[in-house]
Amino acid sequence: MDGMVTGDPALLEVRDLRKWFAGPRPGPFRPRAKVHAVDGVSFDIRRGEVLSLVGESGSGKSTVGRTVLRLARPDGGSIRFGGTDITGLSRDALRPFRRRMQLVFQDPYASLNPKMTVEEIVGAPLAIHEPSTSAAERRRRVEEALSLVGLLPSHITRYPHEFSGGQRQRLGIARALILRPELLIADEPVSALDVSVQAQVVNLMLDLKERLGLTILFISHDLAVVGHISDRIAVMYLGRLVEVAPTQALFATPRHPYTEALLSAVPIPDPTVRRERIVLVGDVPSPLNPPSGCRFRTRCRYALPACAEAPPALREVAPGHFKACIRDDIALASPTSVAA
Amino acid sequence: MPDLPMPLDTRPALLAEDEVLSVRDLSIAFHTPAGALPAVRDVSFTLRRGETLALVGESGSGKSVTSLGILRLTPRAPFCRITGQVLLRGHDGRVRDLVSLPEDEMRDVRGRDAAMVFQEPMTSLNPVHRVGDQVAEAIRFHEGLGRRAALTKAAELLELVGIPDPRRRLSSYPHEMSGGMRQRVMIAMALSCEPQLLIADEPTTALDVTIQAQILDLLRRLQERTRMAVIFITHNLGVVAEIADRVMVMYSGRVVEQAPVRPLFGAPLMPYTRGLLRSVPRLDMAGRERERLQAIPGAVPDPLAPPPGCSFAPRCGHFEPGLCDAAVPGLDLARPEHLVRCVRWPELARNAA
């Protein structure tokens, strides 16, 4: 997919990424089935940009994040980071790249070791990537990272249980930032938080992006949060991208029927807004045995017989707006146009 | 609290004709090594037939404990103490106070007059029993049907909640179903005896948005059909706007605002409610202007060491020393049907207008 980036070189270029997992055996002595968790995903992230990957459970969005970090080995395609192909690099060769991309996890309760102090937790990446750091230097860097995320330097001797959920997520972000990474991959970083606290963390991430010039891959199922934080949004369904667009364009003029349905399913916190809702029938099909052609066609109200023939390519239908759907003759509803 | 057995039938009927439930001064306290933990304090509300009341609040606000307390699913005394009254109209038209009802009569109420749907459809279904037997259990228990007849009714219920091929699905195990399907099974179980009251505790929180839309749709259709009253517990204000007739906002164990859904969203009076509404990113505003979300600073207070006076005071932008921290504010009737717990609301409402 050439031409996805115009102008600046991309920090991250993902091309035709594939990741399979071993599924159940269909019968005795038969080879295991393959689960196509990610099946040909291509996208770029420019420097200083927030790109969100949205999709429902099982769409493969988290697997994309893990594969980009090389926490999972890709089964096909390529990942270029800062111009270097890191797809096949060995563990040792990967190390200098790993420090330039860091991960923030979903669950702030499970991702912090309860037996470690804040200094040990936040300073852990230093111990791995800069083992020669002196104790005094480490303390200074940890304090700096804490103040960056709105915590106090005096918190350094405390343990995770002394913090609230929102503060714990700040600790997770401080840990990710201590090495000054260029790319932050945040996998559902606010999903476990209460709404009032979720807003604090979203604001913090936007601040950090501005102040540090961070590039963020934001993985989430929450379209309202994604709409607030992203520059561009990529929508995934069953291991494939179905639509990629700048945030405003995606919400104002969704081009893929799945995006349309997804947007219409999100409840809007205003009882005076009444919308026509597209209720999708049934569940997401099993990734063990995905539908032929367009994977969304079994739940799509616009499906034609031709949709079953071949997987639709992701093609540019408006500047920067890509969709994988063969139907160009349909007008789709948007949440912003109805509410206006 | 001394457990005084009272002959309930001699009391006057305390519910108006169309009322199903009346909760009065309900307080629930847990005993912990650190002392009594008041999880719910002085909660009062009534619910009419066919009405949906949304209970909104963040973690630790007491919304789930309130619902568990109504059905007495909290731990027994002395680990947990429930005071106040929970008056429920049963299927036979009799009004019972669930707080003082003996346990064996309580079993008759649960599942028949009042049923509950939980958040996690995976952990609330028994993994080693077939779905059909689990749905049929309540029918056999409450209606005394035989296994075969109960299973036939279970299949009808599965069909009602939109499960395809219900006859065959009776013999499925929960792990063979998706999350949305399992939640449909939970709803089928809850509806099996046509309860007057359905309590749904975050029934769609664990589900994807497209599946959430299906479940909300289903609940709405079923409610229209059965006229049951619904208590819907959620932290998702979008869901509230969509399904609720009235909303009760809880904070730190107390009701801080209660109003019909439109005034609550259109003209909220309590600073906490306003803060909540402003902190939610809205889909219909997405990508328009990159405004900062207005987060509420700080975190929910520790229930064992609550701040003096109004429990929201430490996070409130309108905090006035000497006034807000002097005493816990009462619940004022600000407008018809609109209750608010804030000493400064008249002033704040004037400024907002």
Reported as a single tens digit per residue, the pLDDT across A156-212 is 999 999 988 889 999 999 999 999 999 999 999 998 888 888 898 999 999 999 999
Give the per-residue pLDDT at A275. Answer: 78
CA distance B93 to chain A (A): 33
The alpha carbon of B179 is separated from its chain's Cα centroid by a whole number of angstroms, namely: 21
pLDDT digit string, tens, across residues B18-39: 999 999 999 999 998 888 899 9
Chain A residues lying within 8 Å of B178, measured CB to CB: 283-284
Average pLDDT over residues B319-341: 94
- Same domain membership, residue A119 and residue A83: no
- Same domain membership, residue A200 and residue A315: yes
Chain B residues lying within 8 Å of A204, measured CB to CB: none
Average pLDDT over residues A201-230: 93
% of chain A exceeding 70 in pLDDT: 96
Residue A195 touches partner B, C-beta closer than 8 Å: yes
Separation CA A243–CA A324 (nearest Å): 6
Residue A334 lies in a domain: yes
Record: contact B214-A280, CB cut-off 8 A: yes
Count other Cβ atoms within 10 Å, centred on residue A162.
Answer: 11
Record: contact A280-B280, CB cut-off 8 A: no
Separation CA B302–CA A202 (nearest Å): 24
- Same domain membership, residue A127 and residue A54: no
Record: contact B238-A263, CB cut-off 8 A: no
- Same domain membership, residue A288 and residue A223: yes
Residue A106 lies in a domain: no
- Same domain membership, residue A190 and residue A84: yes
| Mutation site for A-interface testing, chosen from B163, B270, B283, B312 by largest number of A Cβ within 10 Å | B283
pLDDT digit string, tens, across residues A276-330: 788 888 788 888 888 999 999 999 999 999 999 999 999 999 999 999 999 999 8
- Same domain membership, residue A286 and residue A144: no
Largest Cα–Cα distance in chain A?
A: 67
| Contacts (Cβ under 8 Å, ≥6 apart) of B92 | none
Are B74 and B82 within 8 A, CB to CB? yes
pLDDT digit string, tens, across residues B195-253: 999 999 999 888 888 888 888 999 999 999 999 999 999 989 999 999 999 999 999 99
- Same domain membership, residue A189 and residue A163: no
Q: Give the end of a domain, one of A178, A204, A233.
A: A178
Residue A36 lies in a domain: yes
The shortest CB-CB distance from A269 to any of B214, B265, B275 is to B265
Residue A110 lies in a domain: no
Q: Give the end of a domain, one of A178, A196, A214.
A: A178
Chain B residues lying within 8 Å of A56, measured CB to CB: 208-211
3-state secondary structure of A191: coil
ipTM score over 0.85, yes or no: no
Which chain B residue's Cα is nearest to A247? B287
- Same domain membership, residue A94 and residue A133: no
Chain A residues lying within 8 Å of B262, measured CB to CB: 271-272
Residue A47 lies in a domain: yes
Record: contact B281-A270, CB cut-off 8 A: no
A330: phi then psi, degrees, rounded to nearest 5: -115, 145
**Cα separation values, A229 from A171, A319, B238, B248, B291, Å:** 20, 21, 19, 30, 10
Helix or strand (DSSP H, E) at B103:
helix B103-109
CATH label of the domain that carries residue A90: 3.40.50.300
The interface residues of chain A toward chain B in range 115-134, judged by CB-CB distance below 8 A, are none
- Same domain membership, residue A194 and residue A53: yes
- Same domain membership, residue A172 and residue A95: no
**Boundaries of domain holding A331:** 10-100+181-339
Record: contact B293-A228, CB cut-off 8 A: yes
pLDDT level of residue A2 (50, 70, 90 thresholds):
very low
pLDDT level of residue A28 (50, 70, 90 thresholds):
confident
Record: contact B209-A56, CB cut-off 8 A: yes
- Within chain A, residue ranges assigned H as helices are 61-68, 91-98, 118-129, 135-148, 165-177, 195-212, 223-229, 247-252, 257-265, 335-339
- Same domain membership, residue A168 and residue A21: no
Structure tokens at B331: 């619940």
Q: Give the end of a domain, one of A158, A178, A198.
A: A178
Separation CA A43–CA A75 (nearest Å): 17
Chain B residues lying within 8 Å of A196, measured CB to CB: 58, 275-276, 279, 295-296
**Considering the entire predicted model, what is its pTM?**
0.87
Record: contact A272-B213, CB cut-off 8 A: no
The alpha carbon of B97 is separated from its chain's Cα centroid by a whole number of angstroms, namely: 18
Give the per-residue pLDDT at B249. Answer: 97
Residue A38 touches partner B, C-beta closer than 8 Å: no
Record: contact A200-B261, CB cut-off 8 A: no
Are A314 and A232 within 8 A, CB to CB? no
- Same domain membership, residue A243 and residue A163: no
Residue A246 touches partner B, C-beta closer than 8 Å: yes
Q: How many domains does chain A have?
A: 2
B79: phi then psi, degrees, rounded to nearest 5: -75, -25
Residue A105 lies in a domain: no
